[in-house]
Amino acid sequence: LYRNSGKPDLASREYRILLHQLEKPARIAETASLLPLAVSIQDLRFLCETQLSRLGQTPG
């Protein structure tokens, strides 16, 4: 949403937050049990990193 509305800084922030959350194994297991994902955690991480790259940001 942020990216499409011309707010790349906010979009980058959200992608970085998600990547940070994906680094915590306990949180991943907890979230996966509540909300089954249509994509794998690795794919989700890849998508975030790709979008950050397109926005000119680096993950982390």
Domain ranges of the chain: 8-54
Burial of 6 (0-12, 13-18, 19+ CB in 10 A): exposed
pLDDT at 49 over 60: yes
Task: Tell me the mean pLDDT in the region 6-15.
Answer: 90
Please state, in angstroms and rounded to a whole number, the distance separating the CA atoms of residues 4 and 43. Answer: 21
pLDDT, mean over the chain: 81
What pLDDT score was predicted for residue 12? 92
pLDDT at 30 over 80: no
AA identity, residue 43: D
Please state, in angstroms and rounded to a whole number, the distance separating the CA atoms of residues 5 and 19. Answer: 22
pLDDT at 60 over 70: no
What pLDDT score was predicted for residue 40? 81
